Structure 1
């Protein structure tokens, strides 16, 4: 089964499930669904940053400071966060990511999803999926901040990152 065939819950503006749709159709038709964003840090506190492969359905070849993805039909945000983090980092036995907050991402151009933001400490050696990750490294947060101007980033990840910085500053 391709990722375009994966079944997703379609949700309303209050994150209530209203129907289900294959992922490819949900993207093509701009149907609101659910996603998870997991900020992974290594033992030294550096952020996992990667560049997506050019074959990704959404935002190919762009950089991201989160691992994550869509929440499958009937799957909880918490379960999706752990599954996606382990898949993208290429590890098993990761601690359960900690939920921080949720927001509605909408770029006004047909990309809209409820976004649950998590964080996790990954002290395991990573081996990211070559189908999903073209390049990766753990970078200090100040270097990530510098790269925000130089690299092209996924817009939803950037939105989540800005909200996460605001969330932490309210701390």
Structure 2
């Protein structure tokens, strides 16, 4: 069992998404190492998107709003395994096996390669209190409108825009 999030061993990759090796999450953030992240758009049975505000105790981007659930890919995991694990853990609910959408390279403060997925949630959600301070399922157009006033996790903006563009195209 990992004693704290900074001790979690994650997958470090190069600029082309080739695995370099394992490193602790704390070291990845401290040294700004490129690493893998799984992001999942979670829809309810009525076609509404799960959105949330991260808790103020999160290691990076505390109290920011998010349209994805997800997190770092543990060393030895692939993107799909991480997406399924993260969606189930963060939502505390039954989710359909996430469907892969695309890979996205993020070159911001904490560089990442992202595997972007979507899934459908069945039944009520019980989000992890350590991860989620507020949550709701909202219609997509309302999410887009609200994002203009939210402080959104920076690495989520471009993949969400790409999702919207590919969805409408």
Question: Which residue number in structure 2 is paired with residue 113 of structure 1?
Answer: 112
Question: Which residue number in structure 2 is paired with residue 18 of structure 1?
Answer: 20
CA–CA distance in 1 between the matches of 2:123 and 2:74? 26
Aligned pairs (5 A) from 1:7-46 = 7-46=9-48
Deviations 1:117-167 (A, max 9, x none): 100010221000000000000001111111011111111111211111122
CA–CA distance in 2 between the matches of 1:99 and 1:60? 27
Alignment partner of 1:99: what SS? Answer: strand
CA–CA distance in 1 between the matches of 2:163 and 2:80? 17
Question: Which residue number in structure 2 is paired with residue 162 of structure 1?
Answer: 161
Q: How many residues matched?
A: 167
Deviations 1:45-92 (A, max 9, x none): 00000000011111100000100000000101111000000011012x
- The two structures, once aligned, show a CA RMSD in angstroms of 0.9
Aligned pairs (5 A) from 1:1-171 = 1-91=3-93, 93-107=94-108, 110-170=109-169
Q: Runs of 5+ in structure 1 lacking a partner?
A: none
Shift of residue 8, structure 1, vs aligned partner: 1.1
Q: Runs of 5+ in structure 2 lacking a partner?
A: none
CA–CA distance in 2 between the matches of 1:26 and 1:83? 21
> Is the 8 Å Cα contact of residues 64 and 151 (structure 2) preserved in structure 1?
yes
CA–CA distance in 1 between the matches of 2:123 and 2:89? 13
CA–CA distance in 1 between the matches of 2:76 and 2:128? 24
Shift of residue 169, structure 1, vs aligned partner: 2.7
> Is the 8 Å Cα contact of residues 43 and 122 (structure 1) preserved in structure 2?
yes
Superposed structure 1 runs of 4+ greater than 4 Å apart: none
> Is the 8 Å Cα contact of residues 37 and 160 (structure 1) preserved in structure 2?
no
